[in-house]
Amino acid sequence: MTERLFSTHDVRPRQELDGLWTVTLNDAGETAGAGDPRADTLSGGRTVRMLVPSCVESIPGAETFRGVARYERTFDAGSLLGPLDEERYLRIVCRGVSHMADVFVDGTPVAHHEDAFTAFDGVIEHRPGARTVTIDADNRFSERSALHRENDYYSYGGVTRPVVAELVPERYVDWVHVTPIRHDDGWRARVEVRIASCRERLGTGEPGTVDGIVLRLDGRDVRTLTAADATEDPFVYRCTLDVPDAVPWTPDAPHLTYVQAVLLQDGLKVDDLIDRFGFREVRVEGDKVLLNDEPIRFVGFNRHEDDPVFGCALPVEAMMRDLNILRDLGATSVRTSHYPNDERFLDLCDELGLLVWEEAHARGPEDEHNPRFLGQSLTSLTEMVTQHFNHPSIYTWGILNEYESNTEYGRSVYVPMYERLRELDPSRPTTSATCNFPTDICLDLPDIVSINIYPLWYSDAPVDELVREVLDFVRSSPGAGKPLIVSEIGAGAIPGVRDVRRSKWSEERQADILSEQLGHVCGLDEVMGVYVWQFADCRVTEGWFAVRPRTRNNKGVVDEYRRPKLAYETVQRAFEEYRDRHRVPTTRA
Ligand code: ADA
């Protein structure tokens, strides 16, 4: 089970395509990729064997690779046996390819995708026997990709998240979304199910009919949806269920409920999808964030998916290692800066009760405005919310980290992003981390105001002075009266640099600064949550060389190998004081 942490299908046959693939690397200028079928231009490349998921940067000699990596493998599609023997399709699901992807089955293009951090899929007619899947992963920087560029984190290359082959009928279950609704006597669940059509996707005919969709909660049939439950969108069915015996999800008792949608055709179960959700409601009231009507507060870290050995393709054991360190530090929340995370990480957060700020991909500001920026940001946002809708640990959706919230152009990007977010999921509060003080003109848009501040690091002003200035500005802006989060605060240290003079980049100096910063902001009642920048040192791109010793962002409280710096205990203590003061339950193991 590599794709999620539980079985996602009882009915749909599937085969995980992890294991050995053949990888051909080509970084020689003009190459195939991105829908270009001139596959032979890869012929001069170097060929190696690699596991999926993986980053090409872990191949010896390819540590700084920028180019097209062609992953290829053949598997036996005859082993996928389903309940139907007519009109079946092979569906290839890629959970993440970094960062432009083209997918082919036996040389036929089936999917094109333009972001490393969300899943996508392609369908093609099924036939038994050997099928060859080819994935071109292109991690070159160009104007085609507005979100992947020189940055304060690294854009790796490769098939970096799991790949699965599935056998689906003409109509299949695309997604199931559950919105828990709290009312006086208990809980209801608003369920929406989307049924996709392979014919429609391939342009080969009208969608077939659907006889019924059986909904099951924790293995019990609760309702059958029929044509009468179809919405204005003929692919989406909707109903509201009373769930008198619902067990709530809370950070200290993170109970998960399983939902299954089973598709019926001619009396047969022809397809299904299983997901998990939690009975919990998050809402904003005045300057508070409420979870099941109780105000919540949190302390935690910004975390990049980055590892010195595995790049961004962290195995689940390494995700769990990070979560155990986070919990040892006393964190009760994590921000997925600056992109949607591997869904197995979210599955673990759901189970552990760690609150998640999940962020759509985009870290501002842009050097030059790329006309594709808004479209690609909207796609990242739409795919993130659609794919991760059910995770109870996600208490807020974040967008556009430190983007241009201080210009009219920037506002013209924020407005449609917030509109899309509210359309897709009105049930969760929204936020964006800003550093634009005192010029921000977008604080009317989010439900939660989030500020990135680096007193004593990027500014010489005393902590209390800088924080007061920022808070005075927020109080005089349309953000006044909304919940307030310090979404980034921190300082850098080169691991192992110790200095009695406590000079810049020494571990002593980092610990001093974090102690002063947290001592002040954690003491402010109006601050609902604090995220330290950052959890672990991470790789950055070469363009950041001048300002980033070791070509890493060194503000981790652990280094890239997760070895604690001096600041580890400083943060641990500050978090403990904050939790004690505000009675925040810990998820510490
Ligand atoms: C920013 C940004 C982070 C990181 C950080 C830093 O505010 O959001 O991605 O670059 O600062 O280390 O300076």
Protein residue closest via CA to atom 9 of ligand 1: 152
Same domain, 455 and 503: yes
Return the residue whose CA atom lies nearest to atom 10 of ligand 1: 152
Interatomic CA distance for residues 552 and 560, integer angstroms: 9
β-partners of residue 253 are 250
Taking residue 439's Cβ as centre, other Cβ atoms within 10 Å add up to 10
Q: Is 463 within 8 Å of 475 (Cβ atoms)?
A: no
CA of 366 to the centre of ligand 1 (A): 14
Mean pLDDT of the chain: 94
Q: Which two tokens stand for residue 164?
A: 């699965």
- If asked whether residues 439 and 565 sit together in one domain, one would say yes
Please name the residues in contact with 288: beta carbons below 8 A apart, sequence gap of 6 or more.
295, 483, 528
Q: Is residue 589 a part of any domain in this protein? A: no
Question: What pLDDT shows up at residue 520?
Answer: 96
Tokens of 143: 């104007």
What's the rounded mean pLDDT across residues 178-186?
Answer: 94
Distance from C-alpha of 223 to C-alpha of 378, rounded to nearest angstrom:
34
335 and 449 inside one domain: yes
Hey, which bits of 184-267 come out as E strands?
186-197, 212-217, 220-225, 236-243, 249-250, 253-254, 257-265
**Cα→Cα distances 202→37, 125, 196, 205, Å:** 19, 9, 11, 8
Beta-carbon count within 10 A of 69 CB: 30
The answer to whether residue 288 sits within a structural domain is no
- Are both 163 and 178 inside the same structural domain? no
* Domain assignment present for 239: yes
Residue 31's pLDDT is 44
**pLDDT value, residue 33:** 44
% pLDDT > 90, the chain = 91
Specify whether 162 is located in the same domain as 181: no
Question: Which residues neighbour 357 within 8 Å (Cβ) at sequence distance 6 or greater?
Answer: 333, 334, 335, 336, 394, 395, 396, 398, 431, 487, 531
- For ligand 1, what atom is nearest to the CA of residue 553? 12
Q: Give the integer Cα–Cα distance in Å for 433 and 148.
A: 19
The pLDDT value given to residue 269: 96
pLDDT tens, position by position, 450-494:
999 999 999 999 999 999 999 999 999 999 999 999 999 999 999
With respect to residue 513, please indicate whether it lies within any of the assigned structural domains: yes
Largest CA distance in the chain: 78
Answer whether residue 292 is part of any domain: no
Mutational test site, ligand 1, from 338, 339, 402, max ligand atoms within 8 Å of CB: 402
Between 44 and 145, the higher pLDDT residue: 145
State the pairing for strand pair 448-452/46-52. unpaired
**What distance in angstroms lies between residue 8's CA and the mean position of ligand 1's atoms?**
36
Do 67 and 139 lie in a common domain?
Answer: yes
N-term to C-term CA, the chain = 25
Q: What is the pLDDT, as a whole number, of residue 256? A: 98
Instruction: For residues 277 and 356, state if they share a domain.
Output: no
Tokens of 258: 């399983």
pLDDT at residue 583, rounded to an integer: 85
Q: Which domain holds residue 420?
A: 300-582
- Determine the pLDDT at residue 41: 44
**Per-residue pLDDT averaged across 36-46, rounded?**
52
- Comparing 30-44, 113-127, 234-248, 562-576, the range with the smallest average pLDDT is 30-44
Select from 140, 167, 194 the last residue of a domain: 167
Write out residues with Cβ below 6 Å of ligand 1: 152, 363, 401-402, 435, 452, 488, 533, 553, 555
34 CA to middle of ligand 1, Å? 30
In a domain, 588, yes or no: no
Alpha-carbon gap, residue 437 to 439, rounded angstroms: 5
Domain count, the chain: 3
**For the residues of 495-513, what is the DSSP string, one character each?**
TT---TT--TBSHHHHHHH
Atom of ligand 1 nearest to the CA of 433: 8
Which of 138, 167, 196 corresponds to the end of one domain?
A: 167
Q: Which amino acid does the sequence have at 5?
A: L
Which residues face 93 on adjacent strands? 121, 164
Q: Give how far Cα 169 sits from Cα of 174, 443, 583, Å.
A: 12, 47, 51
Which of ligand 1's atoms lies nearest the C-alpha of 402? 8
Rounded to the nearest whole angstrom, what is the distance from the C-alpha of residue 49 to the centroid of ligand 1? 36
Percentage of the chain modeled with pLDDT above 70: 96
Residue 32 is predicted with a pLDDT of: 44
Per-residue pLDDT at 587: 61
- How far, in Å, is the centroid of ligand 1 from the Cα of 431? 17
What pLDDT is stored for residue 307 in this prediction? 98
- Does residue 364 sit within a domain? yes
How far are the Cα atoms of 9, 164, 237 from residue 70, in angstroms, in the given order?
A: 29, 17, 39
Integer Cα distance of 297 and 579 in angstroms: 8
Name which residue sits closest to atom 5 of ligand 1, judged by CA: 533
Is 532 a domain residue? yes
Residues 521 and 555 in one domain: yes
Pocket test for ligand 1, best of 404, 452, 514 (most atoms within 8 A of CB): 452
**How many angstroms does the Cα of residue 189 sit away from the middle of ligand 1?**
39
- Asked if residue 142 and residue 79 are part of one domain, the reply reads yes
- Once rounded to an integer, what is the mean pLDDT over residues 43-63? 89
If you search the block for the tokens 């050097």, which residue do you land on?
A: 367
Task: Identify the CATH number of the domain in which residue 436 sits.
Answer: 3.20.20.80
Per-residue model confidence (pLDDT) at position 28: 61
Distance 152 CA to ligand 1 centre (A): 7
From the CA of 403, how far away is ligand 1's center (Å)? 12
Q: What is the rounded average pLDDT of the residues 74-99?
A: 93
Q: Is 117 helix (H, G, I), strand (E, B) or coil?
A: coil
Q: Last residue of some domain: 250, 282, 314?
A: 282
Same domain, 429 and 312: yes
pLDDT tens digits for range 329-373: 999 999 999 999 999 999 999 999 999 999 999 999 888 899 999
Quote the pLDDT of residue 44.
56
Same domain, yes or no, for 507 and 370? yes
> Same domain for 143 and 204?
no
> Residue 58 sits in a domain of what CATH number?
2.60.120.260
Q: Is the pLDDT of residue 42 over 80?
A: no
> How far is residue 483's CA from residue 463's CA, in Å, rounded to a whole number?
21
